[in-house]
């Protein structure tokens, strides 16, 4: 079974953790030399950078990453702290 990747656009927020917005998915080619990327939205803010992270269904409750080496939330939801501020 091939791996699935989530595609995120990182939204920088002053005085808060960065928000990882899930904008699509990516699947590696069978030969391992590329990806098919399917976006549901385009990153229209900041520098347009997108991040691909391997999808792990076990990480459904993960916190939003403030460091690119950490995993973002797998479900694309807002972090609890941001949801409480609204």
Domain coordinates in residue numbering, the chain: 5-85
Task: Tell me the per-residue pLDDT of 20-67, one tens digit each, with 9 for 90 and over.
Answer: 999 999 999 999 999 999 999 988 877 778 899 999 877 654 444 444
- The owner of tokens 């656009």 is 9
Closest CA to 70 of 15, 8, 16, 25: 8
pTM for the model stands at 0.64
CB atoms within 10 A of CB 23: 19
| Confidence check: pLDDT of 74 > 70 | no
At residue 24's C-alpha, the angle toward residues 21 and 30, to 5°, is 140
CA 53 to CA 55: how far, in whole Å?
A: 6
**Cβ–Cβ < 8 Å for 63, 79:** yes
Once rounded to an integer, what is the mean pLDDT over residues 3-23?
92
Q: What is the pLDDT of residue 86?
A: 35
């Amino acid at each position: 079974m091939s791996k699935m990747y989530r595609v995120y656009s990182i939204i920088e927020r002053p005085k808060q953790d960065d928000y990882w917005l899930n904008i699509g998915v990516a699947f590696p080619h069978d030969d391992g030399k590329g990806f098919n990327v399917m976006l549901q939205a385009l990153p229209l803010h900041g520098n347009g950078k997108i991040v691909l992270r391997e999808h792990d269904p076990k990480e459904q409750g993960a916190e939003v990453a403030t460091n690119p080496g950490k995993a973002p939330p797998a479900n694309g939801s807002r972090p609890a702290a941001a949801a409480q501020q609204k």
